[in-house]
Amino acid sequence: MKKTTMRKYARLLARKGVNVQKGQEVFITAELDQPEFVRMLTEECYRAGAARVVVDWSDSTLTRLHIRHRSLKVLSELTSYELEKWKYQADKLPCRIYLVSEDPDALAGVDVRKLAQSQQAKMKVIKPIRDTMENRYQWCIAAVPGEAWAKKLFPNLTRRAATERLWEAILRGARADGEDPMAAWDAHNEALAKRCEYLNGLGIRELHYTASNGTDLRVGLMEGSVFMAGGEYTEQGVYYNPNIPSEEAFTTPKRGCAEGIVYASMPLSYNGQLIENFSVRFEGGRATEVKAEKGEEVLSEMIAMDEGAAYLGEVALVPYDSPIRESGILFYNTLFDENAACHLALGRGFTGCLRDYGKYTQEQIAEMGVNDSIIHVDFMIGTSDLTVTALCQDGREVPIFKNGTWA
């Protein structure tokens, strides 16, 4: 990939992604796949005014070794220096950039129960700290190619050619392959804002999803909830884009208000393991039955992570003819695949989807219906014949999606 193109992408993530403010710190999390790009991104963060940039490297192969060889007790421990790092972030509120590039099958075959139990134990300590940071800092998830990921998508190409092809697909989906990616994102955010303005004017109380694959699901929304899309603001008024790419208009549904069954339309990579051809049945808002041709044990462990993991935390509307869907590529990566089709998320909801959320305590927000959990996992449900109908507060039934796209 041309260095000038990579540099534009790095600048986009620093200035439109997290929108680094002068004097802020930046934490970057990345696998070992693209060190040159990480160096570029670090430099662009400094150019944007960052006081300090910290890079945390990770490696899926090492993670496999840790899961295999550490005892459950050791794997579940949050060391003192890890805890202090979380406390430091809660105090300093640095920007967070997450660069994803790992193999979707990286952790295939690991002890699912052991991994889930260790994550549960750690999150009991991390979550209260993380909750204090909610809506108060800028973060962005973006992607760079990894060789293993690229070969899964393009198995007939050499590693180098597959990686180059994946670079092209990532940049195209991220609207970062043109002359001025930042201007492209300004226009994109404006269009998404208009879409949300329309949806929020309807007064929707329930969404009804149907498709020929058997999906028939009703999801209730909270009074006072809003659809959001593209960029958003921190409590301090800093505008940033948490997902690059992003084609969705999303909101947080009301906990306990989901009835019916939904069939996934794409595989889900969760904790480095693939879940394929699966369905989720909801009763009283809770996922009471899951089935999958592959990865059913992983899916079952996922919804048992805590009490809120089996409830919905997000509903997102994405047209089936989105640019990412039209690329014809199944990315096996939620960041991209969720922007190729309508999706739902199990687990934690977004407090920012409530009007005037800053006026309420966490207890009041929970009473209003925002689900809480240590997980937030998106899975895709959009199909070419998906229909979504809005039932409004005034009794109207308004078609939102027809044949997979905006009605």
Residues 59-75 as b or e (16 or more Cβ within 10 Å = b): ebeebbeebeeeeeeeb
Q: Are residues 161 and 72 in the same domain?
A: yes
Query: Residue 231's closest CA among 19, 376, 6?
Result: 19
In a domain, 240, yes or no: no
> What CA–CA distance (Å, rounded) separates 15 from 229?
18
Q: Are residues 108 and 210 in the same domain?
A: no
**Are the beta carbons of 267 and 332 closer than 8 angstroms?**
yes
Task: Say what the pLDDT of residue 91 is.
Answer: 97
In a domain, 239, yes or no: no
- Specify the DSSP element, H or E, that contains 3: helix 3-12
Task: Say what the pLDDT of residue 357 is.
Answer: 85
In a domain, 162, yes or no: yes
pLDDT mean across residues, the chain: 95
Predicted TM-score of the model (pTM): 0.89
Task: Say what the pLDDT of residue 178 is.
Answer: 92
Helical ranges in 174-304 per DSSP H: 181-200, 296-302
Three-class secondary structure of residue 230 per DSSP: coil
**Are the beta carbons of 390 and 204 closer than 8 angstroms?**
yes
CATH number, domain containing residue 150: 3.40.1830.10
Mean pLDDT, residues 138-152:
97
Task: Say what the pLDDT of residue 284 is.
Answer: 97
Q: Are residues 114 and 214 in the same domain?
A: no
CA end-to-end distance (rounded Å), the chain? 38
Task: Say what the pLDDT of residue 158 is.
Answer: 97
DSSP strand pairing (204-210 vs 387-392): antiparallel
Q: Are residues 66 and 204 in the same domain?
A: no
Task: Say what the pLDDT of residue 316 is.
Answer: 96
DSSP letter, residue 225: B
> What CA–CA distance (Å, rounded) separates 220 from 332?
29
Which domain-ending residue is among 130, 147, 173? 173
Which domain-ending residue is among 145, 173, 201? 173
Q: Is the pLDDT assigned to residue 13 strictly greater than 90?
A: yes
> What CA–CA distance (Å, rounded) separates 56 from 28?
6
**Are the beta carbons of 353 and 181 closer than 8 angstroms?**
no
38-41 — which CB contacts under 8 Å span 24+ positions? 38/99, 40/3, 40/6, 40/7, 40/10, 41/10, 41/13, 41/14, 41/97, 41/99
Q: Are residues 116 and 206 in the same domain?
A: no
- Specify the DSSP element, H or E, that contains 204: strand 204-210
Q: Are residues 47 and 141 in the same domain?
A: yes
DSSP letter, residue 243: B
Per-residue pLDDT tens over the stretch 287-326: 999 999 999 999 999 999 999 999 999 999 999 888 898 8
CA neighbours within 13 Å on the CB side: how many for 50? 26
Q: Is the pLDDT assigned to residue 1 strictly greater than 90?
A: no
> What CA–CA distance (Å, rounded) separates 366 from 87?
24
Q: Is the pLDDT assigned to residue 146 strictly greater than 90?
A: yes
How is residue 114 written in tokens? 């052991």
Per-residue pLDDT tens over the stretch 327-370: 999 899 989 989 999 999 999 999 999 998 888 888 899 999 99
Residues 242-268 as b or e (16 or more Cβ within 10 Å = b): bbbbbbbbbbbbbbebbbbbbbbbbbb
Per-residue pLDDT tens over the stretch 76-96: 999 999 999 999 999 999 999
Burial level of 29, CB count in 10 A (0-12/13-18/19+)?
A: middle
Q: Are residues 215 and 360 in the same domain?
A: yes
**Are the beta carbons of 332 and 148 closer than 8 angstroms?**
no
Q: Are residues 8 and 79 in the same domain?
A: yes
What region, left, alpha or beta, does residue 259 occupy, with left being phi > 0 and alpha being psi -120 to 50 degrees? beta
Query: Residue 207's closest CA among 223, 218, 196?
Result: 218
In a domain, 236, yes or no: no
Q: Are residues 20 and 126 in the same domain?
A: yes
DSSP strand pairing (228-229 vs 249-251): antiparallel
CA neighbours within 13 Å on the CB side: how many for 96? 18
Q: Which DSSP string corresponds to 306-319?
A: STTTTBEEEEEE--
Task: Say what the pLDDT of residue 334 is.
Answer: 87
Q: Is the pLDDT assigned to residue 12 strictly greater than 90?
A: yes
Please give the tally of structural domains in the chain: 2
Three-class secondary structure of residue 160 per DSSP: helix
In a domain, 79, yes or no: yes
In a domain, 235, yes or no: no
> What is the identity of the amino acid at 358?
G
Per-residue pLDDT tens over the stretch 372-400: 999 999 999 999 999 999 999 999 999 99
The owner of tokens 């204090």 is 132
In a domain, 281, yes or no: yes
Which domain-ending residue is among 134, 155, 173? 173
Q: Are residues 141 and 200 in the same domain?
A: no
Helical ranges in 70-143 per DSSP H: 72-76, 80-92, 112-133
Q: Are residues 82 and 142 in the same domain?
A: yes
Q: Are residues 189 and 57 in the same domain?
A: no
What percent of the chain clears pLDDT 70, i.e. is strictly above it?
100
Query: In which domain, by residue range, is 215 found?
Result: 182-230+245-406
Mean pLDDT, residues 254-265:
97
Task: Say what the pLDDT of residue 294 is.
Answer: 95
In a domain, 345, yes or no: yes
Per-residue pLDDT tens over the stretch 91-141: 999 999 999 999 999 998 999 899 999 999 999 999 999 999 989 999 999
